[in-house]
Amino acid sequence: MAALPVVTAARIDSDALRSADIDTAVRDAVLDGRPLYALDEDLIRGRAPDLVITQDLCHVCAVSSDEVGRVRSLDADVLALDPRTLAEVAESVRTVAARLGVPERGEAVAGDMERSIAQTRRAVAGAAPVRVFVAEWLDPPFAAGHWLPEMVAVAGGVEVLGTAGMPSFPTTWEEVAAAEPELVVAAACGFDAARIEREAAGMRFPSRAVAVDANAHYSRPAPRLAQGVAQLAFLLHPALAPDPGLPWIELEPAWTR
């Protein structure tokens, strides 16, 4: 995969900015109507793709079908995937496999995802639910949306602000504290646990807080969400669910309220 050409680039250098600055830059770009991503049109056309897979779920997180449509003389089908639930993520795998002529491979991958999630659900069945706030961004905090509150529910928790199947939304740490979470899961969209730990330096959370690898196991609508569910179950109910061995980092002590 490392040898494949890169045909897109973010116009905002998130590596050089902190969470609040990234949020401001994105908001300014959206208000000005400026695209967040650049596409190398010559390179895309030179590869002569038959199928381009993109998304319209979030125009901030990745290239959208509108941006792909601006590539001139692109003679290719465009497939936009917009799953909002765990079931829709599994179905999107089947959709891609069918379009590529390998439906049996898609069924195998989606089936493994569904069986893993079902196994986690059974492991924590009957446990008292833990109150959880999943932070999809830290500054400002964003309450989780789409499949993330569902992941929490499957893992034996209840998301205190986010709603399953709905978009994430900005909130404040004061509102989070008022919702009385027992655990804050810092899962800033697109960041790994180490980057989230750096972003959280100096912050104080209203409960125990942990950083997870959001980029790999929480943010992206892919089969690895099943591993994120397993990790959440371990973090919420370690006596019932095994540690899947994914990276996570304990963050600073909680606020005194």
Tokens encoding 198:
């750096």
| More confident site: 227 or 45 | 227
Phi-psi region of 66 (alpha: psi -120 to 50; beta: other; left: phi over 0): alpha
- Among 3-7, 46-50, 142-146, 208-212, the minimum mean pLDDT is found in 3-7
Q: Does residue 44 fall inside a structural domain?
A: yes
Averaged pLDDT, 29-46: 70
Q: Residue 41 is which amino acid?
A: E
Same domain, 50 and 138: no
pLDDT at 120 over 80: yes
Averaged pLDDT, 208-229: 96
Domain count, the chain: 2
Alpha helices in the chain (DSSP H): 19-32, 41-47, 65-69, 86-99, 103-123, 148-154, 173-178, 193-199, 214-217, 225-236
CA distance 129 to 105: 35
Say if CB 207 and CB 224 are below 8 A apart: no
3-state helix, strand, coil in the chain (%, to 5): 40, 20, 45
* Residue in the structure block whose two tokens are 């994120």: 228
Same domain, 74 and 122: no
How much is the pLDDT for 188?
A: 94
Same domain, 50 and 175: no
Query: What are the two backbone dihedrals, phi and then psi, of residue 86, each rounded to the nearest 5 degrees?
Result: -60, -40
Q: Which helix (H) or strand (E) holds 78?
A: strand 77-80
How much is the pLDDT for 164?
A: 94
Tokens encoding 141:
């905090």
Q: Which helix (H) or strand (E) holds 51?
A: strand 51-54
Q: Does residue 89 fall inside a structural domain?
A: no
Q: Does residue 105 fall inside a structural domain?
A: no
Q: Does residue 90 fall inside a structural domain?
A: no
Q: Does residue 93 fall inside a structural domain?
A: no
- What is the CATH classification number for the domain harbouring 148? 3.40.50.1980
Same domain, 121 and 244: yes
Q: Does residue 42 fall inside a structural domain?
A: yes
Same domain, 66 and 133: no
How much is the pLDDT for 43?
A: 83
- As a dihedral over the C-alpha atoms of residue 58, residue 228, residue 84, residue 155, rounded to 10 degrees, the angle is -140
How much is the pLDDT for 257?
A: 44
| More confident site: 32 or 184 | 184
Same domain, 239 and 131: yes
Say if CB 5 and CB 47 are below 8 A apart: yes
Same domain, 23 and 122: no
Same domain, 76 and 18: yes
DSSP structural state of residue 135: E
pLDDT at 238 over 80: yes
Same domain, 234 and 179: yes
Q: Does residue 106 fall inside a structural domain?
A: no
Q: Does residue 98 fall inside a structural domain?
A: no
Query: What are the two backbone dihedrals, phi and then psi, of residue 202, each rounded to the nearest 5 degrees?
Result: 90, -10
- 130-189 per-position pLDDT tens digit: 999 999 999 899 999 999 999 999 999 999 999 999 999 999 999 999 999 999 999 998
How sure is the predictor about 63, in pLDDT bands with cuts at 50, 70 and 90?
A: low
Averaged pLDDT, 5-31: 66
Host domain of residue 54: 8-80
Average pLDDT of the chain? 87
* Domain boundary, last residue among 62, 80, 98: 80
